Chains A and B, each alone.
Chain A
């Protein structure tokens, strides 16, 4: 029989060493508020306290704080690093997430409710019931032209992006093409320029008018921002110089036979290179399917090396 009056014991939960999902409620509340703000102003960097978490800064602590806030026991999490589920740090983060939340782990993009990623967006198209969490080392697209964050913040407020355009123009003049590799700056919702995190140029179109929500979070730099579903994400380009993704459309994965996906280049001792699909689990699924297994592969963003969305 419970007492008719409230006591501290019956009002509170039993003591536990850590809160559900590791972060304490005050940290989660702040995260939720900042995530909602970030969704409300697409591409705009929201400063947040960014608590220490039990992995080192620069190792996905920003993405981790977002995922820890979103996660629930019914979640299914996929964590990739450079496209690979079994990459050591991805494995470590996935194990931690499962340990503190009881959520299920998966390698399959189709099965995941939350995909936390470093440097890649999976090749299978994400759905509107999935959330993509990108780990961000440097949230500031203006960093190369303005390392001082407080000045850069003012430049965003003024939509003062002239110097970014100038950098791209100088690359055209010097090298005959835009030399920006990964982390290609993009204009979000026609207002804020963001860095899409160091994903390859191949992946940036996947954010444009996407069905899924993308949250980008830099733990060390204490900034998070978002690309809500059906939001315009336009890489900065000149009207007469089209945006160029990496020249991978015609490469073939030597392991899975996949074509028209982003590839890892594997140097060969005898000279030359082989290529393997960077989205490692898509590669695995393709191999299994070729071996006769009934494996479901979702629709891809790219068909025949062309972006279809």
Chain B
């Protein structure tokens, strides 16, 4: 039977959902914990796109969706939006971050040093097939450096500012409640700076990469140099009603700053940060941010184009909505087409 014309749609959808869930089997706390432990980078990516920092919830969403990332992000977003905003954290300053990894491609060495931290960048990507044969893959222990790098590092841009290489706009302190919040307000253009950065932070990794890569290949105006890439943990400082400031915990964050020579004779910066460690996203996002000012309306690097089209929940939802029946609109179009054909025929008869 046709899937719409069937009577009893309620039963059909119920059973279809059961079929899907049956494949996934029982979800217990152990499975959620296992996913959380085994897939930290995936958890980070999902937490970033959901803009909800909770590894347990992210792992639960992955378990519930069987790893369908768009489903997982929707689950988390739909849960997140029902939660009250309890407090606004203090701004996170770069120099206060507990930095695990911080590199710059712009200089051979930078104040504070290049800190590789955890990375597969220089690993040979060999599949450890022996594991399937029963031989465990046991990571070789890390040998600690004789002298640990300081956990807090200055930003390279701070040095560049003192050298007059980049503009140093004065910092404007905005009261927490007055910071535009894209989860509570529509995204309109020209966008508030906060809305742009928030949208990039929760953008789809794949979408940001696709558009960022297009910009890098030449559809943008600016070629990025990675000024600084940083993986860190940030202390979330909130104020208790009694007036005491305290840390509500730490969150993993990644941020990238890319630069290119601007028309002003100074370096221009593009910036992107997100929850969790996700290097591809922040480099591509910062590249898009770098290219956005002055971009032609409707071009693939213009802010409105980029931000509307990299929203993971909106873009994936609209894509799959085409599965819904459209036979009324189709019938309406067909009517116009047949009407035009009749008109055409009548015209021909007149000329003959």
Contacts and interface: CB of A to CB of B under 8 A. Distances in A.
Interface of A: 18-19, 22-24, 26-27, 30, 47-54, 56-59, 61, 81-84, 86-92, 95, 118-120, 137, 147-151, 153, 175-183, 198-202, 220, 222-223, 244, 246-248, 262-265, 278
B327 A82 contact: yes
Contacts of A247: 335, 338-339
Given A50-B186, A149-B189, A220-B318, A86 B9 contact: yes
Contacts of A61: 317
Interface in B72-100: 74-75, 77-78, 80-84
Contacts of A244: 339
A45 B117 CA distance: 49
Given A19-B82, A52-B81, A58 B317 contact: yes
A49 B181 CA distance: 10
23 contacts: A30-B184, A50-B186, A52-B313, A54-B78, A57-B316, A84-B4, A86-B9, A90-B9, A95-B10, A137-B318, A137-B321, A148-B304, A149-B308, A150-B304, A181-B332, A198-B328, A198-B329, A200-B329, A244-B339, A246-B331, A246-B335, A262-B328, A264-B331
A95 B10 CA distance: 8
Interface string B189-232: 11000000000000000000000000000000000000000000
For chain B, the bracket of interface size reads 35 or more
A181 B74 contact: no
B327 A264 contact: yes
Interface stretch (B21-29, B33-41, B55-63, B340-348): B340-348
A49 B183 contact: yes
B249 interface: no
B263 interface: no
B190 A150 contact: yes
Given A49-B185, A53-B81, A181-B336, 10 more contacts: A30-B184, A48-B186, A56-B74, A59-B324, A89-B324, A119-B328, A150-B190, A182-B332, A200-B328, A264-B331
Contacts of B319: 58
Given A82-B328, A175-B343, A59 B9 contact: no
B188 interface: yes
B298 interface: yes
Nearest to B347: A176
A52 B313 CA distance: 8
Contacts of A137: 318, 321
B351 to A, nearest CB: 13
Nearest to B50: A52
Contact of B9 (A51, A52, A54, A91): A91
A57 to B, nearest CB: 3
Contacts of B339: 177, 244, 247
B331 A18 contact: no
B343 A91 contact: no
Nearest to A222: B186
B13 interface: yes
Nearest to B317: A57
Interface string B309-335: 000011011111100111111011111
B167 interface: no
B149 interface: no
Contacts of B332: 181-182, 198, 200-202, 246
B344 A176 contact: yes
B327 A51 contact: no
Contacts of A59: 317, 321, 324
Contact of A179 (B80, B331, B336): B336
Contacts of A54: 75, 78
